[in-house]
Amino acid sequence: MAEVVAPHGVFQGKVFEFPVRVYYEDTDAGGVVYYANYLKFAERARTEFVRALGVNQQADLESEEKSAFMVRSLTIDYKAPAVLDDLLIVTCEMVEAKGAGCVMKQEIRRGEQILVSLEVKLAHVSLSRRRPTRIPESLLQKIEAL
């Protein structure tokens, strides 16, 4: 039996690209992707971006410090709808990372067409203290190496 492999993305220079297929459950009564599901697609891509950098997020959650990234704010611009069976590419590009925060630009595309643009501001947070904490230097170095 063939090994099952989870979807994964690739870096194209500084930009991470993650494939997402639109399933029936992602659509609304009109047959287009429900607006909130684009946020889920973007979250999956950000998670895989961090994984592709070699960060074990589960280990971070189980460590003594217990830290994670949380969305502080985001701006989203819906330009065109996706529909059932579309193969989308969700991109992630870190445009700023310093202190306890970072800004990521994301796009959701069908081929060359941009369907959704996002600017996501993230905070690195100590979950045990519920306070912002500096992004680990090792992670900043990986981001800068892109």
CATH number at 123 reads 3.10.129.10
Q: Is 1 domain-assigned?
A: no
Q: Provide the domain limits for residue 40.
A: 10-144
Q: How many domains does the chain fold into?
A: 1
When pLDDT is averaged across residues 3-9 and rounded to a whole number, the result is: 78
Helix (H, G, I), strand (E, B) or coil at 135: coil
Residue 127 pLDDT: 87
Residue 38 within a domain: yes
Show Cβ contacts of residue 143 under 8 Å, excluding neighbours closer than 6 positions.
Answer: 53, 94, 97, 102
Residue 5 pLDDT greater than 80, yes or no: no
The pLDDT of residue 60 is above 80 = no
Which residues touch 120 (CB under 8 Å, ≥6 apart)? 42, 46, 71, 73, 74, 103, 104, 105, 106
| Per-residue confidence band for 61, with pLDDT thresholds at 50, 70 and 90 | low
As annotated, the active-site residues are 28
> What pTM did the predictor assign?
0.90
pLDDT in tens, 116-135: 999 999 999 988 888 999 99
What residue has token string 């630009």?
A: 105
The residue type found at 43 is: E
pLDDT of residue 47: 93
Is 139 part of a structural domain of the chain? yes
Structure tokens belonging to residue 9: 């993305």
Q: Which residues contact 80 (CB under 8 A, 6 or more apart)?
A: 110, 113, 114, 115
